Chains A and B, each alone.
Chain A
């Protein structure tokens, strides 16, 4: 459905745009504390109100978006960068030791509770945005490896691959020139989904204090700060939560829309 794609892209673009804009301009400086104006509800000057240090919440959300988006984006990059070559290699050697090894290692990673391990990694190696990226990225690797392997196995039986083999191309060249281009659509769709999951995971890690550290703002951290004040300052909790919800919703809708658009078999609205 095109409606999903338009709505999803619109929502995602709005938050990505606000995060990008924050590099050049924010309504208020988030480093400047204004205790006289702390915990003020939304007003003409501060559209989303101020927090317990008197900082403008809209500006915090704009800057915090950078952290969430950067962490999730790099984590998807790690997953794709390592998972796709592994999946391609496993498909080439179908049933061989490499395939077995890669797939069993994937099963093993899937058996570990992801959030728990992410928390363990960040707690052990220190809470920071970089460690959050690694913790989230590790769990993206098996997702992409398995997806790539599954789809590549199907492609290896096709006539155009046979033709390439007859023409004397090696496995690596066939994987890069013929298999990979046919997987791009699939990878884009999965990438969008993992991106949205990454934003949720980053928010969760920052919420428990294991993501980006103050003074770098992040949506999860803002929610954690607002928790004890929620009874008298609910606006502090509403805006960052809505920012996460709408960004993730936008990315999911965009993923659905892209899948429908890029996979012609689904276009007649089978599902």
Chain B
């Protein structure tokens, strides 16, 4: 097991290194000089040079890549070109919106998907199953930002149960914070819950054909009991993979939903930073999100090997 963990760890570090190089190179070819962008069209050449020097834009690409990388390893993500505040601080502030939003959406997604999948799997071939599967088809096909707009119309404009946008801030209390994240979380959770329901139902049905389920049924368990006590645990491997993938997607993929609800999250930060040519912020946030995805995949790999020792020998 130790050898497997070390192998995965080396692979994790290599992936991160390559990813950082790709991100840096991609933004190197971006047209436009951040210093010129900040100072405007009438900037003097010497002012531009001074600002470039201050922002660390002089020097070769390799030097800049090196200092960016070593800075990140020390938790120093640099200073934002537009806001003149440390990027790490900005990311920290935005994480307080994005992380709870992703967790809230993931929780909702599991809360919907688990009972729905169990229900559909235990009623194979009935109208109920057809109904659940039909709903998941709709959930996957619906554009989540449109669904968000419809929810705003119903629950914010007409019923006035939730705010139409913005974030109250955690200092207003847990309830106020959660209230402003509820509609965005539901909009994000709906497609994820639909995918999870389909994967889980399918995994449950696969497990139901196994011998140990037949044994459990022979011992007198009903189909539902066998499903909950024996099939559920064995069906969890594909479900955990999807949950892992969904978490990283929710963290990064909320960019459009954050725009619908004007939420000050990571996605919106990147979006604003791209428009303002604030490349240091873009680089750092994208790197952080890629790091999150790679780390989640790494954890899922380790969890597999721990659950199923046969996987340790394979790659």
**A→B interface (CB under 8 Å):** 107-108, 111-113, 115-117, 119-120, 123-124, 196, 200, 203-204, 207-208, 220, 223, 226-227, 230-231, 234, 237, 240-241, 244-246, 248-249, 252-253, 271
Q: How far is the CA of A231 from the CA of B149 in the complex (A)?
A: 10
A112: chain B residues at CB < 8 Å are: 19, 286, 290, 293
- Residue of A123, A231, A244 near B153 (CB, 8 A) is A231
A123: chain B residues at CB < 8 Å are: 271, 274-275
**B→A interface (CB under 8 Å):** 15, 18-19, 22, 26-27, 30-31, 137-138, 140-143, 145-146, 149-150, 152-153, 157, 202, 205, 248-249, 251-253, 255-256, 259-260, 267, 270-271, 274-275, 282, 286, 289-290, 293-294, 297
B140: chain A residues at CB < 8 Å are: 248, 252
The 5 tightest CB contacts between A and B, nearest first, are A113-B252, A241-B146, A249-B141, A248-B141, A123-B274
Report the minimum CB–CB distance from B95 to chain A (whole Å): 15
Check B149–A108 contact: CB distance below 8 A: no
A203: chain B residues at CB < 8 Å are: 143
Q: How far is the CA of A247 from the CA of B252 in the complex (A)?
A: 26
Check B255–A116 contact: CB distance below 8 A: yes
Check A237–B149 contact: CB distance below 8 A: yes
Known: A124-B30, A245-B146. A111 touches B297 (CB 8 A): yes
Check B255–A231 contact: CB distance below 8 A: no
Identify 23 residue pairs between A and B in the complex whose beta-carbon atoms are under 8 Å apart, listed by A's number. Answer: A108-B22, A112-B19, A113-B249, A113-B251, A113-B253, A113-B290, A115-B255, A116-B252, A116-B255, A116-B286, A117-B286, A120-B286, A123-B274, A196-B141, A203-B143, A208-B271, A226-B149, A230-B149, A230-B157, A237-B153, A241-B149, A241-B150, A248-B142
Check B15–A119 contact: CB distance below 8 A: no
Report the minimum CB–CB distance from A227 to chain B (whole Å): 6
Q: How far is the CA of A252 from the CA of B142 in the complex (A)?
A: 11
Check B143–A244 contact: CB distance below 8 A: yes
Check B271–A249 contact: CB distance below 8 A: no
Check A223–B146 contact: CB distance below 8 A: yes
Check B146–A237 contact: CB distance below 8 A: yes
- Residue of A113, A223, A237 near B289 (CB, 8 A) is A113
Check B137–A249 contact: CB distance below 8 A: yes
Q: How far is the CA of A157 from the CA of B15 in the complex (A)?
A: 31
B275: chain A residues at CB < 8 Å are: 123
Check A120–B253 contact: CB distance below 8 A: no
Report the minimum CB–CB distance from B211 to chain A (whole Å): 18
Q: How far is the CA of A240 from the CA of B142 in the complex (A)?
A: 12
Check A119–B271 contact: CB distance below 8 A: yes
Q: How far is the CA of A180 from the CA of B178 in the complex (A)?
A: 52
Known: A112-B19, A230-B152. A271 touches B141 (CB 8 A): no
Check A223–B249 contact: CB distance below 8 A: no
Q: How far is the CA of A204 from the CA of B253 in the complex (A)?
A: 11
Specify the chain A residue showing the minimal Cβ separation from B248. Answer: A113
Check B138–A223 contact: CB distance below 8 A: no
A231: chain B residues at CB < 8 Å are: 153, 157
Check A230–B153 contact: CB distance below 8 A: yes
Q: How far is the CA of A248 from the CA of B270 in the complex (A)?
A: 28
Check B290–A245 contact: CB distance below 8 A: no
Known: A120-B286, A230-B152. A204 touches B143 (CB 8 A): yes
Specify the chain B residue showing the minimal Cβ separation from A269. Answer: B125
Specify the chain A residue showing the minimal Cβ separation from B202. Answer: A271
Q: How far is the CA of A253 from the CA of B137 in the complex (A)?
A: 8
B260: chain A residues at CB < 8 Å are: 227
Specify the chain A residue showing the minimal Cβ separation from B198. Answer: A271
Specify the chain A residue showing the minimal Cβ separation from B125. Answer: A269
Known: A223-B146, A271-B205. A119 touches B137 (CB 8 A): no
Q: How far is the CA of A223 from the CA of B260 in the complex (A)?
A: 11
Specify the chain A residue showing the minimal Cβ separation from B253. Answer: A115
Specify the chain A residue showing the minimal Cβ separation from B270. Answer: A116
Check B153–A234 contact: CB distance below 8 A: yes
B22: chain A residues at CB < 8 Å are: 108
A271: chain B residues at CB < 8 Å are: 202, 205
